[in-house]
Structure 1
Amino acid sequence: MLKLFDLSLKLSGFPIEEGKKQFEEILAVPEYEYEAFLEKTKAEIVNFHLQNNPFYRDLNGSETINDWNDLPVLNKKNLQKPLIERLSVNYPESKIFVNKTSGSSGEPFIFAKDKYAHAVTWASYFWRFGWFNINFNSSYQARFYGIPKDFIGYRKERLKDFLSKRYRFSIFDLSDEILEGFLKDFRTKKFDYINGYTSSIVLFAKFLKKKDIILKDICPTLKVCMVTSEMLFEEDKILLESQFGIPIVNEYGASELDLIAFQNPKGEWQVNAETLFVEILDENNQPVPKGKEGRIVITSLFNKAHPFIRYDIGDIGILDEKSTFKKPILKQLIGRTNDIAVLPSGKKSPGLTFYYVTKSIIEDDGNVKEFIIKQTKIDAFEVEYVSEIELSEPQIKKIEEAISLYLEPGLKFAFFRKTSLERTNRGKLKQFKSML
């Protein structure tokens, strides 16, 4: 069988075979040696960045590490400066994978991974999806994601979809008429699994319930559904299970890191302890006991191009008391949910649609620090943002054009530059909020 997915990774310069080999070696480390393995790997990545990354060395204030808990906790504000200032030495663009965070927390930035680390990340994905008999080289994915609307971006994503055996359902418009088209595709295509944004998939399930249709009945090849990027509430999970007729797997990840936690076949939210070290910290940056809630702080164990060491992702969570070093279990994730925008035409768009809109204001100069979008009326929105320099008229026009393209024309937007933004009582920004 031609492994198109593996081939596409190789063509992009990712050493996937070496990444898989590294990952298999990590899996082979026994439980009784795992704490020592983690300590060694953590020390190696920290020492690498202290020696080779001026940005991290300055942040730490020293070239040495005495105690892990004394290391600085990175936040997204620390990273809102040009990427070139944050890269390790000897990591030119040819050796790295560069991308933007979604900005779903309201604090966007550009990040990098070295290509070897990214290959290990893909090996992590392969293994976890394999728990449910999903193989990226052969399984056909129904993908509920957005897609760029500019010609080059659109064609690029469609090519990636082809190489990755994916059929994309664009989630910018989720009106009944569009969902009827989705249904037709499920009747005619042999999908193995569904993957995508939680809110979009939940809207599709509600549509199926209204029509009294079980998805597995019309698409018998379906095995499993993985939801990501937004919180999955228990009642929504029950709805998905009943309307799809397949297991629902809850995925928690971050583009700049990897899968952070992935529901295993026993229903446990298993934390990725192979490529990441996940801590739950209190307000003084000290670890809390298992079973207690705190800030989720993550170290990327293999990314040498860019430091993600004790990186505060902006979420609150609880580790289960039965967690071990080799198999930590996320008992609860608190936060991460998006509203649905209802527009004058009747069109419904998930809050994550704004990821594609706000991309147009994310530039690699760190000017826009934070932003939130509020829907105040059916056709009116407010954008509140914190920046060093006020957005210019051309920038605002660019945003309005993107809004017309991704949502619909005729929407009114007001822009307000602020010194700080309103946060939840847990200190988290919610990028989109409907006031309707």
Structure 2
Amino acid sequence: MISLFDISLQLNGFPIQKAKADLAAITRLSEEEFLKFLERQKHEIVHFHLHNNPFYNELTGSKIVQQWEDLPVLNKQNLQKPLQERLSKGYTSKNVYVNKTSGSSGTPFVFAKDKYSHALTWASNIMRFGWFGIDFNHSYQARFYGIPMDFFGYHKERFKDFLGGRFRFPVFDLSDEVLEKFLQKFKTKRFDYLNGYTSSIVLFAKFLEQKNIVLKEICPTLKACFVTSEMLFESDKKLLEKQFGIPIINEYGASELDLIAFENPKGEWQVNSETLFVEILDENDLVLPYGKEGRIVITSLFNKANPFIRYDIGDIGILDEKSTLQKPILKKLTGRTNDVALLPSGKKSPGLTFYYVTKSIIEDDGNVKEFIIKQTQLDTFEIEYVSAKELDSNQIQKINEAIALYLEPDLNFIFTRKMVLERSNRGKLKQFKSYL
């Protein structure tokens, strides 16, 4: 089989062979050599943008920056201005890779990567998937993603899937009839791996559980499953392992940057230190030591088209105490900063708290398929859920008791049963949303 994937990147002007060779060289560096490489790369990317990017220059102001910690922290609001105003000298929308973020953080924007930097992103993906015996040029992917619904967008995406060795399962309708059709495809196609949104893949696993089917038994070629874009809970991971019969690998990435962390074969969430520099900062922009929870702030070490230097991605996390600069390990990712509920007592709770509380009760019997929680007032929350039968007063009582225990008493919950939950235009499910 010819290497269609590499060839299509090369034809589009992305120097994938050079990127692969350069990345391999970075991974072979000794610890001492790596520290020199990191310092040099940080210095070069800042120097480049200070001299070639008016937008970044304006952001840093005219002050002479003595050390790394003095550089400003970029946020998504800074980047919500026309791309033309943010591109570096020598770059136009014609000679860069342009895309837009999914907006799952509520703050979408358009971004650019120079072609070499984008090739490095792919080289990094290829290397990490390779840890599990997956080769983008030859492995066949079952892809659980959204798809544009307009004629041109739809067919363009399907053509890209063909070149990339992927078969797409659109995730906008995940009713049992549709999941049954998905299942039939696994019986007839020789898939090597699954990849896609966590919530959709989990829903497919629950469907298999009802039918008492292990996916690898009907599709023996499967090697691994990679979930992305949404939180993977421990209980869901166990369900996936049980119903798929293959390793479940958790990835964490951002389209504007790269794969940020990827579970390695030892089960550690290894941070990408080859193309990114990841810091954990407190609310005063001070760097926190390993083991402390704070804002995840990321520098793209190679992107010259668009500066992502000390960029606050809007997530909260912890780097493990055993991390090193060459091999940082993400110990915990606690979701988006904007997914925080404010309570009448003044207490702040991450949206995930509700999710854990309701998840533990709602999912005991497999009746409730999915749910989302919306905060509409300080003391009022709406839970929208999809289920075979309506929640009874006993279940609702249990949820209210658990919420009083974990959060605080006297909160109002409105339960609404839906046929289908609203997903973003990309097919993501946002579990908690505050409208305050």
Secondary structure at the aligned position of 2:94 is classed as: helix
Sequence identity (%): 69
**Contact kept in structure 2, 1:140 and 1:166, CA below 8 Å:** yes
**Contact kept in structure 2, 1:199 and 1:350, CA below 8 Å:** no
Task: Provide closer, same or farther for how the CA distance between residues 431 and 222 of structure 1 changes in structure 2, counting only shifts above 3 A.
Answer: closer
Q: CA deviation at 1:153?
A: 0.4
Task: Provide closer, same or farther for how the CA distance between residues 314 and 64 of structure 1 changes in structure 2, counting only shifts above 3 A.
Answer: same
For 2:286, give the aligned amino acid: Q
Runs of 4+ in 1 over 3 A off after TM superposition: 336-339, 346-351, 374-379, 430-435
Gaps of 5+ in 2: 337-350, 356-366, 373-380, 387-417, 423-429
Q: CA deviation at 1:13?
A: 1.5
**Contact kept in structure 1, 2:369 and 2:385, CA below 8 Å:** no
- Residue of structure 1 in register with 2:250 after alignment: 250
Secondary structure at the aligned position of 1:94 is classed as: coil
Q: Where in structure 2 are the equivalents of 1:39-78 lying within 5 Å?
A: 39-62=39-62, 64-78=64-78
Q: CA deviation at 1:433?
A: 3.8
CA offsets, 1:54-77, max 9 Å, x none?
Answer: 000000013743110010000000
Secondary structure at the aligned position of 1:93 is classed as: coil
For 1:170, give the aligned amino acid: P
Distance 1:377 1:220 in 2: 37
Distance 2:170 2:317 in 1: 31
- Residue of structure 2 in register with 1:206 after alignment: 206
Distance 1:227 1:432 in 2: 19
For 2:15, give the aligned amino acid: P
Distance 1:175 1:349 in 2: 11
CA offsets, 1:2-45, max 9 Å, x none?
Answer: 10001111122111111112211211211122222111100100
For 1:39, give the aligned amino acid: E
Secondary structure at the aligned position of 2:167 is classed as: strand
Distance 2:287 2:123 in 1: 29
CA offsets, 1:349-374, max 9 Å, x none?
Answer: 898xxxxxxxxxxxxxxxxxxxxxx9
- Residue of structure 1 in register with 2:227 after alignment: 227
Answer yes or no: is 1:264 the counterpart of 2:264: yes
Distance 2:81 2:371 in 1: 29
Answer yes or no: is 1:33 the counterpart of 2:33: yes
CA offsets, 1:70-95, max 9 Å, x none?
Answer: 10000000000001000001101222
- Residue of structure 1 in register with 2:340 after alignment: none
Deviates more, 1:320-329 or 1:262-271: 320-329
**Contact kept in structure 1, 2:368 and 2:385, CA below 8 Å:** no
TM-score if structure 2 supplies the norm length? 0.79
Q: CA deviation at 1:325?
A: 1.2
Distance 1:269 1:348 in 2: 28
Distance 1:72 1:237 in 2: 38
CA offsets, 1:298-341, max 9 Å, x none?
Answer: 000000000000000000110011111111100110115998xx
Distance 2:239 2:419 in 1: 30
Distance 1:220 1:335 in 2: 34
Distance 1:279 1:102 in 2: 23
- Residue of structure 2 in register with 1:388 after alignment: none
CA offsets, 1:378-410, max 9 Å, x none?
Answer: 89xxxxxxxxxxxxxxxxxxxxxxxxxxx999x
Larger radius of gyration: 2
CA offsets, 1:141-195, max 9 Å, x none?
Answer: 0000000000110011001000000000000000000000000000110000000
CA offsets, 1:93-144, max 9 Å, x none?
Answer: 2220000100000011000000110001110001000000100000000000
- Residue of structure 2 in register with 1:392 after alignment: none
Distance 2:286 2:433 in 1: 32
- Residue of structure 2 in register with 1:218 after alignment: 218
Distance 1:376 1:292 in 2: 32
Distance 2:177 2:207 in 1: 10
For 2:298, give the aligned amino acid: I
Q: CA deviation at 1:347?
A: 12
**Contact kept in structure 2, 1:323 and 1:329, CA below 8 Å:** yes
TM-score if structure 1 supplies the norm length? 0.79
Answer yes or no: is 1:317 the counterpart of 2:323: no
Q: CA deviation at 1:376?
A: 7.6
Secondary structure at the aligned position of 2:142 is classed as: strand
**Contact kept in structure 1, 2:139 and 2:192, CA below 8 Å:** yes
Task: Provide closer, same or farther for how the CA distance between residues 321 and 62 of structure 1 changes in structure 2, counting only shifts above 3 A.
Answer: same
**Contact kept in structure 2, 1:200 and 1:350, CA below 8 Å:** no
Q: Per chain length, whose mean CA-contact separation is higher, i.e. which structure has more relative contact order (CA < 8 Å, sep 6+)?
A: 1
Distance 1:63 1:5 in 2: 45
**Paired positions, count:** 362
Answer yes or no: is 1:168 the counterpart of 2:180: no
Answer yes or no: is 1:305 the counterpart of 2:310: no
- Residue of structure 1 in register with 2:239 after alignment: 239
**Contact kept in structure 2, 1:375 and 1:433, CA below 8 Å:** no
For 1:198, give the aligned amino acid: T
**Contact kept in structure 2, 1:172 and 1:349, CA below 8 Å:** no
**Contact kept in structure 2, 1:279 and 1:296, CA below 8 Å:** yes
Answer yes or no: is 1:6 the counterpart of 2:41: no
Secondary structure at the aligned position of 2:26 is classed as: helix
RMSD over equivalenced CA pairs, Å: 2.5
**Contact kept in structure 2, 1:375 and 1:434, CA below 8 Å:** no
Secondary structure at the aligned position of 1:128 is classed as: helix
Gaps of 5+ in 1: 340-345, 352-373, 380-406, 412-429
**Contact kept in structure 2, 1:65 and 1:71, CA below 8 Å:** yes
**Contact kept in structure 2, 1:174 and 1:347, CA below 8 Å:** no
Secondary structure at the aligned position of 2:316 is classed as: strand
Secondary structure at the aligned position of 2:113 is classed as: strand
Distance 1:348 1:182 in 2: 17
